[in-house]
Amino acid sequence: MRRAPPLPLVGVLLLIALALGASWVSPGDPLAGSADALLPPGSAGHLLGTDDLGRDMLAMLIHGSRVSLAVGLASSGVSLLLGVLAGATAGWLGGWADAVVMRISEFFQTLPRFVLALIVIAIAGPGIGKVILVIAVLGWPQTARVVRAEISALRGAAFVDAARLGGMPAPLIVLREVLPQIAAPVLVLAALDVATAILLEAGLGFFGLGDPNLASWGAMLNEAQQYLRSAWWMSVFPGLAIGITVLLFNALGDRAAAALDPRGA
């Protein structure tokens, strides 16, 4: 029995469509200020109100989704790549290669991610590329550990032995025979990684370390601090946007885990 398309997937696809089509969907330029500062939601021409510089909240939210998704997807993609590479090497080779990779990954896991990201960006200066890279470098060990555990379990599987006897070279066995078996847990992790990365990016933006040339949800929250009491919409809407996006990716991960589980019907 196939269920209806899962809600989280629909939500995530909508979000991606929104980010891609931001220029068309958005009611205006997110960075264009106006004299109409701090208009409450429902004001004429500004559905969700305006901020302290008179910028349209809705336009900023829509454009901000680009930054959040770009950082989330790109950094999770890079960390996925690093994690699979490191994990597959450790799990397949075993022995000292395994020990070295695992010690390095443990080192990265002991680092407080957010603090480190904060320090690196503070030193290197803001920039979306740097943010993506920092989050990815801090995020790969988890994927690596899962991949390593799965691969070292599958390394002794009879169908892997059969592929060796069939003459397939080892790197291809890993790539074609083994890795597809572990797609499920890895993709689930990747979805969760996206959520974590979006939160991290928002956190950096909140501390003023986002890219100043881009509208981002974190940066919006940063500015909203001073107006918490007078203009609630400035903090509530970006907060909601972050919350919903993170929830969507988490839910997508969970649903993917259930759907990809070969034991499920």
Partner 1 sequence: MTLLQATDLTRSFRLPGPLFGRPRLLHAVAGVSLSIAAGEALGLVGESGSGKTTLGRLLVGLLPPSSGSITFNGAPLTGPHRLIQMVFQDSAAALNPRRPVGQSVMLPLRWNRRLAAAAADTEARALFARVGLAPENFFARLPNALSGGQRQRVGIARALASSPSLLIADEPVSALDVSVRAQILRLFAELAAEHALASLFITHDLGVVRAVTQRVAVLYRGRVVELGPTAQVMDTPRHPYTQALRAATPIPDPERPRLAPPRPPEAQDLPGCPFRARCPVAVERCAIAPALREIVPGHWAACHLAQPSDGAEGAISPGSRPR
Residue 174: CB minimum distance to partner 1, A: 13
Nearer to partner 1, 169 or 243 (CB): 169
Regarding 95 and contact with partner 1 (CB under 8 A), the answer is no
Regarding 136 and contact with partner 1 (CB under 8 A), the answer is no
The pattern of x and - marking residues 140 through 179 that bind partner 1 according to CB under 8 A reads -----------------xxx-xxxxxxxxx-------x--
Regarding 99 and contact with partner 1 (CB under 8 A), the answer is no
Residue 257: CB minimum distance to partner 1, A: 17
Nearer to partner 1, 59 or 163 (CB): 163
Nearer to partner 1, 163 or 221 (CB): 163
Regarding 5 and contact with partner 1 (CB under 8 A), the answer is no
Task: Return the ∠ at Cα 192 (arms to 73 and 155), rounded to 5°.
Answer: 100
Regarding 261 and contact with partner 1 (CB under 8 A), the answer is no
Nearer to partner 1, 262 or 264 (CB): 262
The pattern of x and - marking residues 178 through 207 that bind partner 1 according to CB under 8 A reads --xx--------------------------
**Residue 176 has which token pair?**
């074609």
Count of CB atoms situated within 10 Å of the CB of 63: 23
Residue 175: CB minimum distance to partner 1, A: 13
Residue 236: CB minimum distance to partner 1, A: 46
Provide the binding-site residues for partner 1, judged by CB under 8 A.
Answer: 157-159, 161-169, 177, 180-181, 262
